[in-house]
């Protein structure tokens, strides 16, 4: 689990944040060591105590996030919080634990009071963030989970760079050099004139232009410039022999302007279509999400009521084992009362563990359901978002190419 903590003040702001309705499920699991039973009341107590000290950051807030798609029980969360509490030097300090669920993921928050009431001073917490990183690394190793990049030694990264000029140029455009060469050579093979060649190139997403120092160049839709004879594997005279002179062709700068205008219209159209699809997808997703959250809340409330009724019934059954009157006195004297009491305690403890396990099973099934519609969002909505980002990036590239072009430009091909 990833542990992130910080010292802070702002008692009321933190209480509001932890109870924010944006979360699909909020569970105040524990409020320990405070006179109040609510978060607002508990954090106000700490603030009041801090007024008798010099401490401004009188709370310590910790978030506990397990990896995506990993099922972690409530008891495991609490065990991690206990370990963090010891690591941070906050043992036996008042604390509150809150569970949040959103987007199919469950995480926890734990907030401690830093005020030591016996000494009336704040608990000293040196190197708290480093200690949490070390504990996080240990937890990932213990569970056998894939270590996040941020916890891996950065010196292990070894990116490779390619130096072949033609390969670099093609890869910058996300294309295989063979595909580019094939497109240009095919256009050349089926054309017997400049007009036919220009048409064939445009059908494949390329524009023919007049080079600054060479006769003919080709630009793609991202305005990358290619030396035509080199990519065709021909001599300049052979290309000129079929296409004639290049003086009647637009220059690279003029072609860039043409591409920018043409592609700008295309981007506008595609962006509009994606926005419409995006809006429909978001509406459908939000409708499914709200229905799911409503049903899950009803199921959790039903489980809570069912468990409560069972506990009441079992408590009455256990209480009925104690006989009253002289019989009860006799049972007490001969130790039968003590035996029944221990039996009741064992059964009550087992029942509590059963209830916790049953609740965790329901929570895990709800998280799985939530992840299913998250996959729907990822496969559809995120696809639209990525396409929008790519369109915006391509449009920016075109504008930058136009602004940065110089008449003395000579492509390194």
Q: What is the pLDDT of residue 204?
A: 80
Instruction: Provide the domain count of the chain.
Output: 3
Give domain status of residue 295, yes or no. yes
Q: What is the pLDDT of residue 152?
A: 46
Residues of the chain with pLDDT under 50: 152-168, 170-171, 405-413
Which residues have CB under 8 Å from 325's CB, separation 6+? none
Q: What is the pLDDT of residue 103?
A: 82
Residues 229 and 316 in one domain: no
Decide: 361 and 74 in contact? Cβ < 8 Å: no
Give domain status of residue 196, yes or no. yes
Residues 304 and 204 in one domain: no
Q: What is the pLDDT of residue 300?
A: 93
pLDDT digits (tens, 9 = 90+) for 38-60: 999 999 999 999 999 999 999 99
Residues 219 and 104 in one domain: no
Residues 278 and 242 in one domain: no
Q: What is the pLDDT of residue 395?
A: 60
Q: Residue 37 is part of a domain; what is its CATH number?
A: 3.30.930
Give domain status of residue 243, yes or no. yes
Q: What is the pLDDT of residue 384?
A: 60
Residues 232 and 316 in one domain: no
Rounded to an integer, what distance in angstroms lies between the CA atom of residue 303 and that of residue 289? 21
Q: For the beta carbon of residue 179, count every other beta carbon within 10 angstroms.
A: 11
Q: Is the pTM of this model over 0.85?
A: no
Q: What is the pLDDT of residue 168?
A: 44
Decide: 280 and 377 in contact? Cβ < 8 Å: no
Residues 267 and 382 in one domain: yes
Residues 127 and 237 in one domain: no
Question: Which of 250, 274, 304 is the last residue in one of the domains?
Answer: 250
Question: Which of 191, 220, 250 is the last residue in one of the domains?
Answer: 250
Question: Which of 153, 179, 199 is the last residue in one of the domains?
Answer: 153
Q: What is the pLDDT of residue 164?
A: 39
Q: Which domain holds residue 398?
A: 261-402
pLDDT digits (tens, 9 = 90+) for 20-44: 888 899 999 999 999 999 999 999 9
Name which of 5, 197, 205 is nearest 87 in CA terms.
5
């Amino acid at each position: 689990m990833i542990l992130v903590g910080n010292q802070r003040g702002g008692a009321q702001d933190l209480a509001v944040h932890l109870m924010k309705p944006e979360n699909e499920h909020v569970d105040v699991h524990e409020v320990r060591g405070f006179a109040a039973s609510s978060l607002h009341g508990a954090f106000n107590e700490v603030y009041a105590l801090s007024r008798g000290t010099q401490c401004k950051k009188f709370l310590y807030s910790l978030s506990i996030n397990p990896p995506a798609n990993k099922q972690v029980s409530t008891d495991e969360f609490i065990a991690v919080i206990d370990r963090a509490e010891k690591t941070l030097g906050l043992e036996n300090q008042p604390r509150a634990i809150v569970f949040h669920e959103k987007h199919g993921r469950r995480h926890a928050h734990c907030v401690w009071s830093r005020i030591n009431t016996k000494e009336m001073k704040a608990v000293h917490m040196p190197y708290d963030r480093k200690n949490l990183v070390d504990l996080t690394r240990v937890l990932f190793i213990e569970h056998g989970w894939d270590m996040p990049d941020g916890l891996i030694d950065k010196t292990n990264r070894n990116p490779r760079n390619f130096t072949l000029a033609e390969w670099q140029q093609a890869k910058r455009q996300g294309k295989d050099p063979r595909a580019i060469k094939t497109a240009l050579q095919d256009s050349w093979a089926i054309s017997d004139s400049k007009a036919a060649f220009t048409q064939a190139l445009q059908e494949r997403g390329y524009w023919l232009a007049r080079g600054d120092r060479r006769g003919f160049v080709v630009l793609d839709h991202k305005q990358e410039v290619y030396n035509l004879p080199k990519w065709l594997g021909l001599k300049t005279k052979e290309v000129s022999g079929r296409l004639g002179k290049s003086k009647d062709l637009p220059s690279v700068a003029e072609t860039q302007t043409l591409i920018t205008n043409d592609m700008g219209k295309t981007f506008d159209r595609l962006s509009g279509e994606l926005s419409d699809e995006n809006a429909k997808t978001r509406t459908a997703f939000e409708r499914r999400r709200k229905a799911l959250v409503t049903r899950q809340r009803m199921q959790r409330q039903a489980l809570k009521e069912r468990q409560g009724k069972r506990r009441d019934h079992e408590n009455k059954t256990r209480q009925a084992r104690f006989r009253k009157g002289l019989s009860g006195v006799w049972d007490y004297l001969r130790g039968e009362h003590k035996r029944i009491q221990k039996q009741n305690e064992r059964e009550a403890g087992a029942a509590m563990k059963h209830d916790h396990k049953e609740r965790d099973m329901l929570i895990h099934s709800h998280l799985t359901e939530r992840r299913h519609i998250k996959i729907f969002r990822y496969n559809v909505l995120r696809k639209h978002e990525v396409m929008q980002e790519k369109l915006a990036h391509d449009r920016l590239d075109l504008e930058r190419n136009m602004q940065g072009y110089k008449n003395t430009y000579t492509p390194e091909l």
